[in-house]
Amino acid sequence: MDFLKLYFIMGSQDCLNRTPEETLALAIEGGITCYQYREKGISTLGEIEKYELGKKLRELCGTHKIPFIVNDDLPLAIALDADGVHVGQDDENAKYVRETIGPKKILGVSTHTVEEGLQAVLNGADYLGIGPMYPTISKADTEKQQSLDIFTEFRHAGISLPLVAIGGMNSTNGETVMKSGANGLAIISDICRASHIQEHTKLLRRLVDEF
Ligand code: TZP
Ligand code: MG
């Protein structure tokens, strides 16, 4: 599951000075291993624009062989022939998503407790998102901050799926979180807001490649 190591998440609401297409192209050049299309929050696009942008970003990922995952929108994921879907606890039921997308597509589930983790395993998840590890500027309705022990707790509960850390992850705290047992870092703002996206992504990639 090396493709989860540097997991870039972005939607139009996360881009300040660059277009989503430019932002994703730079992040790909920098070495992201996976991309999630996440249109959420204040400046979200209408359904048609969301599809049109998704199509462009999907193509970019396809060209560069980067897995393209859609956040919390099953019909969009199907329409774009995405490589997978990511759902949170309040989104579409994970078991239903798995049944709909079939066994070959990637299913990611956000989890905050061992109980949620075990349920996500039963529902057919391929990987689990865990967070927020640190305060985040990219999501308003976050759960409480996680302890670094959570990765060990999941392993002790018998969960063997890859665990991707999210929420305030950056080049400063990334090493600590990987050392605590995360298998990858999911990042929005530390990449989107970097003044040199490509260079900064390269730095992050070198960091995760140490593990
Ligand atoms: N889920 C939990 S925290 C978060 C999501 C989508 C936002 C992560 O963004 P950032 O900017 O990397 O903290
Ligand atoms: Mg959600």
Active site residues: 38, 110, 139
**Residue 102 neighbours by CB distance under 10 Å:** 8
Please list the alpha-helical segments (H only) found in 10-73.
Answer: 20-30, 47-63
Q: What pLDDT does 141 receive?
A: 86
| DSSP annotation of 170 | -
Distance 210 CA to ligand 2 centre (A): 31
Question: How much is the ipTM here?
Answer: 0.95
Verify whether ligand 1 is closer than 6 Å to residue 136 (CB atom).
yes
Question: pTM for this one?
Answer: 0.97
Count the neighbouring beta carbons within 10 Å of the beta carbon of residue 202. 14
Which residues of the chain register pLDDT less than 70? 1, 43
Task: Give CA–CA dist 129/167, Å, rounded.
Answer: 10
- pLDDT tens digits along 194-203: 999 999 999 9
Cα 32 to ligand 2 centroid, rounded to whole Å: 22
pLDDT at 22 (0 to 100): 98
